Every structure is written in C-alpha cells, then in structure tokens.
Structure 1
C-alpha cells in the first residue's frame, strides 16, 4: 500500500512539475513571438516611412523647380498637387511609425524629418532649396541611424 501511495504522489508531483515547465515555455514562446512580430512591424513601418519621405523630398524639389521655371503654369500646378499626394503618403507612414515606436528620440527625428521635408518648397532661392533638401536627407539619415538598433 505504501508503495502505491508513493507511486501516486510521484506521478502527481511529476505531472505538476511538467505542467509548470510547459506553462513557462509557452509563456516564453508567446513573449518571443510578440517581440518578433513587433520587430517585423517596426521594420515595415520604418522602411515605408523612409521610402515615402524620399519620394516626398523628390516631389518637393520638383515642385520648387517647376514653380521657379514657370510660376502658375499647368506644370507647376501638377507638381504642387503631386506634392500634396506625396505629403499624404509620408504623413500616413509617419503615423505608422508613431504607432510602433517607443523611443522618444526616434519619434522626434521622424517628425523632424517630415517637417523639414514639408518646408522645402518654401525655399527662396537655389542655395536655400539645396540646403533644405540636404537637411531633409540628413535628418532622415539620423532617423534611420537611431531607429536601426531597435530592429536588429
């Protein structure tokens, strides 16, 4: 009888220990899966933002050049409208970054990169436009450099 009781207790103890270890493993796996999904979402959001901002910067340069060459022309108006479309895409991508990013410095750089790009078309002359374009490129590079460690 003692042997049977010891066997039952041993079996129950083994089942409890197995359950505890399986639960910990399941929880650890869930945490790792969530972290990987967030990492992938950040990669997607940061990449989409960078691409949208590059396109927006190109559109802003195009808008400025066309407005300088022939103010009020159909060509200049089309470039202006295209820049609005590109701004909308860049702003949507910025919102995605804001949703997945937890780092205040990265968020600040993303917003700064958007704002610098947004003001490019207001340049007073070619030197100012060139400086603004370079500043937009540099600010985007800073954002990428700051964001990259969180997705490695």
Structure 2
C-alpha cells in the first residue's frame, strides 16, 4: 500500500510539473506575440505615415509635371525628373508597408493609391486633372482608414 501511495505522489508531482511548464510556456508565447504585434503595429503606423508624406510630395510634383506639359523641353525634363525621383520614394514606402502586413484590404488600398498618384500627370484637361486629383486624395484617405483600423485592432 505504501508503495502505491509513493507512486501516486511521484506521478502527481510529475504531472503538476508538466502542467505548470505548459501553462508558463503558453503565457510566455502569448506575451511575446503581443509584444511583437505591438511593435509591428507601431512600425506599420510609421511606414504608412512615410508613405503618405511621400505620396503627397509626388502628387504635387505630378501637378507640376502636368502643368509643364506644354513648356520648353528643359522645363518638362526637370518636372519629369523631379516626379520620377519622388515616385521612387513612394515605391520604396509602398514596399515597406507591404512588408509589414499581408492584409488584403490594405494591399488593395495601396494599389489604388499608387495607380491614382502615378497616373495623375496623364490628365487630358483640367477637368480630368480635378477628377484624378480627387481619386488620388480619396485613395490616400482609404489607406489612412484601412491601415488605421488595422493598427487599432
């Protein structure tokens, strides 16, 4: 009888140690995931802010590029060069945001923003430019809304 009491005590102690270890491991993983998630959200917020700042600069340069379409060749070339340099900054910022999230809606909003901004200078007249400008601002607002929801969740 004493043997069984000893065996039960040892088994109970081992079982308690296993359960305790399992609970501690689960808690540690959850805390690590929460910390990582908070850091990722912070990085995503910063990357989205950089993207929107770069997109605003590009949008302004696209207006200049559109306005210079009938100007002298040197003025057109200068406007094109400035816009293309700014476009590179937007592409880099887009990639940074895409690396931080796999969210399909965010990626869709990013594609809308890129398309609207990259084609702004192709407007045929002032009315078309105004419509394209509205689309680009709406796309930027869409990025803000979608990334904002993701960051706050």
In the alignment, structure 1 segments of 5+ residues that lack a partner are none
TM-score normalised by structure 1 residue count = 0.83
Q: Residue deviations 1:64-110, cap 9 Å, x none? A: 11234x241x2322111000001111111111222222221221111
2-structure distance, mates of 1:138, 1:53: 12
Q: Residue deviations 1:39-63, cap 9 Å, x none? A: 1221122212111111111110111
1-structure distance, mates of 2:80, 2:127: 20
Residue aligning to 1:95: 95
Are residue 123 (structure 1) and residue 137 (structure 2) matched?
no
Q: What are the residue-to-residue correspondences of 1:1-152 with 2, within 5 Å?
A: 9=10, 15-68=17-70, 70-72=71-73, 74-152=74-152
Q: Residue deviations 1:19-44, cap 9 Å, x none? A: 33322221111111121122122112
Partners of 2:45 and 2:147 within 8 A in 1 = no
2-structure distance, mates of 1:46, 1:106: 10
Shift of 1:17: 4.8
> Across the two proteins, how many residue pairs are aligned to each other?
150
In the alignment, structure 2 segments of 5+ residues that lack a partner are none
Q: CA RMSD in A?
A: 2.5
